[in-house]
Amino acid sequence: MTDRLPVIFIVGPTAVGKSAIAVALAALVNAEIVSCDAMQVYREAHIASDKPSLDLQQRIAHHLIDVVSVTEAFSAARYRALASAAVAGIHARGKVPLVVGGSGMYMMALLDGLFEGEVNPDLRAALLAADPTDLYTELQRVDPEAAAAIPPGNVRRVARALEVYKATGIPFSQAKQQRKGFWGKYAVRIFGLERPREELYRRAEARIDAMFAGGLVEEVQALLALPLSSTGSRIIGLPEVKGAVDGLYAIDHARYLMKLHTRHYVKRQMTWFRKDKRIEWLTLAPDETPGATADRIYKQIRG
């Protein structure tokens, strides 16, 4: 038995059914929901970010939705700060934080923390402009442990490791050990939701059809009229629809591209989550209701 405060995570790929299941579970465990989605933070993107319906948001309090404009850059570090504050507030109200979403990077930022070292944009730009082979050779020299853990072809990670070393004098491998997150601080349970791959694809494609029917093209046109930030411009569906708006191809082709890219995104999500052995997986049946899944999770929590 632990006296640590609880935090429950519900994670999984796009279209697996997280939102409805989370609301059903929240009612069982007296929870408030903290979104763990990199795009739902943006106020102007409703259809493209596939936010929980207003009905779901009214039934259970949601946090980290509609917190910034698409004109503002938003980072994992900022997400971690805001989500950590939301979790503390939920605990203070005597409720359980239920962190829900498909962003593996944001999940990792909460669970394991982030290195809060100095960021030097000029140094990073210089490193990224250098020869990748030379960068990796230098990393092997100054931080062989980090070099052994980073593939030579992952230039951004190699550059980041060197940036930390050059800016702080601390090897990146040592700096990573200073990170602190929810894991170990709270009584964390992480539940991953999955479905058979083809069923998941069908659900994702049906959702995309509903987005187009619900006004996705008009929403993207409105977004494109704004000075989008570097992160705001990555909203799923925006580049595909932009191509149609610019006359490069028809709307139906934009829909096709969005479905194709969403399939690839689902694969990347599952690859990320599968690496984390702390996740307890539940395979959902095609006819399983959100309430039934919530009951299954609730029974596992109660042991």
The tokens of 24 are what?
Answer: 């059903």
The region of weakest confidence among 126-135, 196-205, 249-258 is 126-135
CATH assignment of 121-177, among 3.40.1390.10, 1.10.20.140, 3.10.620.30, 3.10.20.740: 1.10.20.140
The whole-angstrom separation of Cα 265 and Cα 267 is 5
CA distances from 170 to 27, 71, 142, 191 (A): 46, 34, 10, 35
What value does the mean pLDDT take over residues 245-254?
Answer: 96
Instruction: Kindly tell me if the per-residue pLDDT of 161 is higher than 90.
Output: no
Instruction: Kindly tell me if the per-residue pLDDT of 115 is higher than 80.
Output: no
Task: Tell me the pLDDT tens digit for each residue of 170-195.
Answer: 888 887 666 789 999 999 999 999 99
CATH topology of domain 6-113+181-200+268-302: Rossmann fold (3.40.50)
**Which H or E element spans position 73?**
none
Domain(s) labelled CATH 1.10.20.140 in the chain stretch across 121-177
Strand partners, 42: 68
What value does the mean pLDDT take over residues 14-38?
Answer: 96
Domain(s) labelled CATH 3.40.50.300 in the chain stretch across 6-113+181-200+268-302
Task: Tell me the pLDDT tens digit for each residue of 36-92.
Answer: 999 999 999 999 999 998 899 999 999 999 999 999 989 888 999 999 999 999 999
